[in-house]
Amino acid sequence: MKRRSFIKTSTLAALTAAVPMAGASGGKSKSRSSASKGKMKLTYRPYDLQLKHTFTIANSSRTITPVVLTEIEYDGIVGYGEASLPPYLGETQASVVEFLKKVQLDAFSSPFEMEDILAYVDKIAENNTAAKASVDIALHDLVGKLVNQPWHRLWGLDPAKAPDTTFTIGIDTPEIVKQKTEQDAPLYNILKVKLGRANDREIIEAIRSVTSKPLAIDANQGWGDKRYALDMIYWLKEQGAVMVEQPVSKHRLDDSAWITERSPLPVFADESFQRLTDLMRLRGAFTGVNIKLMKCTGMREAWKILNLARAVGMKVMIGCMTETSCAISAASQLSPAVDWADLDGNLLISNDLYRGTEVVDGRLVLNNLSGIGVLRN
């Protein structure tokens, strides 16, 4: 006992003695390396994603999604990022470019100062969450490449636990929904259905006429009344639905709490939830939250949200916008830790510029590439 405690004390003493030396030499090598390796360089360009099908949700419809693609280069390595800008969220290619012009990474000596860099980026202006995510994702890709590890491994997540992804059947006439379901249902293990209109039951019946696969429901705030929403949820459960997203308006938190308390299915916040600071306000009003990188400023905050949600007993899903495989693969790095994944945004476009996380037999398959796991096509 005495001997063990002596060894412990001597080891501690040796370590303590070593700290100033390590600190001093570490400081020197830091300035040497920043001098030799140079600064981070951020570049960006607008790009339009072509959608395979016109995409309709409860209150809008479109055929392209504008994005801005970013790159951060450091020491000859390039990290890729992306801001996806569906029009109803308010950011545009012009607003993202304006924001990115203000980002001065020269003030930082290395991409490993991620916490400081991203706190600085967040303070440049309010909102602009997709623009911020485009920096965050590129920085994560860069850092992962510099240490030669994918982020799911750096976070300690087992890629074998990556879940199925839902595949979205957009709002359309029951006949078109039936055709889309016949075509897509065989490739996925769970389908996501956008509801929130007068013909919701017809849509579900059209889907049920061709498949019995489980359904994730997204009402996109479209159910006007809490009692109607709860009736729909009970009916949908009988139809094989397994979860519901955003049944009523994001402004009606009391109604959401009323529904969640009585709902036979888990109820997730999407439009009601943006960032880490929203989470505690939603506790009790929803079973869980839908984390999207474009809403929450990127991977760093997404990871914090996931851990806070777990700590307070809430469920987590990870979702997306229409995005290239860049942002989708970034989001998928967290997917082994979530309850539900809705990462099909890259599957809906015809001009993806990246290859990354794939969907095989309906399940997300993470690769071993470092960073966010993507290659440029």
The residue (of 268 and 354) whose beta carbon lies closer to Mg ion is: 268
- Tokens 């000859």 locate to 76
The residue (of 69 and 171) whose beta carbon lies closer to Mg ion is: 171
Pairing of strands 358-360, 363-365: antiparallel
Collect all residues with Cβ–Cβ distance below 8 Å to 145 and sequence separation of at least 6.
77, 78, 79, 370, 371
Q: Residue 102, SS3?
A: coil
Binding mask 243-262 for Mg ion (x = CB under 5 A): --x-----------------
Q: Nearest to residue 42, comparing CAs of 93, 79, 1? A: 79
User: What are phi and psi for residue 298, nearest 5 degrees?
Assistant: 125, -170
| Minimum separation from the CB atom of position 194 to Mg ion (A) | 8
Residue 48: which region, alpha, beta or left (left: phi > 0; alpha: psi -120 to 50)? beta
* Minimal distance, residue 59 CB to Mg ion, in Å: 12
- Report in angstroms the alpha-carbon separations of 266 from 232, 233, 362: 13, 10, 22
- As measured in angstroms, the least distance from the Cβ of 246 to Mg ion is 6
Question: Could you say whether residue 344 binds Mg ion (CB under 5 A)?
Answer: no
Rg (CA), the chain: 23
CB closer to Mg ion, 270 vs 301 = 270
Q: Which is closer to Mg ion, CB of 255 or CB of 270?
A: 270
Cβ closest to Mg ion, residue 270 vs residue 323: 270
Stretch near Mg ion under the rule CB under 5 A, chosen from 7-15, 69-77, 86-94, 242-250: 242-250
The stretch near Mg ion (CB under 5 A) out of 13-21, 129-137, 267-275, 280-288 is 267-275
Structure tokens, 30: 């830091």
- 267 vs 372, beta carbon nearer Mg ion: 267
Nearer to Mg ion, 139 or 244 (CB): 244
Number of H helices, E strands in the chain: 13, 15
Q: How far is the CB of 51 from Mg ion (least distance, A)?
A: 17
Judged by CB under 5 A, the stretch of 139-147, 265-273, 331-339, 362-370 that binds Mg ion is 265-273
What 3-state class would DSSP assign to 232? Answer: helix
Residue with tokens 């999604």: 65
- In the stretch 273-312, what mask flags binding to Mg ion with x, by CB under 5 A? ----------------------------------------
**CB-CB contact of 153 with 375 (8 Å):** no
Whole-Å CA distances, 291 to 26, 271, 307: 37, 10, 12
Choose which of 172, 270, 344, 352 interacts with Mg ion (CB under 5 A).
Answer: 270
C-beta closer to Mg ion: residue 91 or 245: 245
Q: Which residue is nearest to Mg ion (CB)?
A: 270
Of 295 and 355, nearer to Mg ion (C-beta) is 295
The least CB distance from residue 220 to Mg ion, in Å, is 6
Site map 193..232 versus Mg ion, x via CB under 5 A: -------------------------x--------------
The site that binds Mg ion (CB under 5 A) totals a number of residues, namely: 3
Token reading at 214: 């489980």
Distances (CA, A) of 120 to 34, 181, 228: 19, 45, 45
Residue 8 identity: K
Interface residue list for Mg ion (CB under 5 A): 218, 245, 270
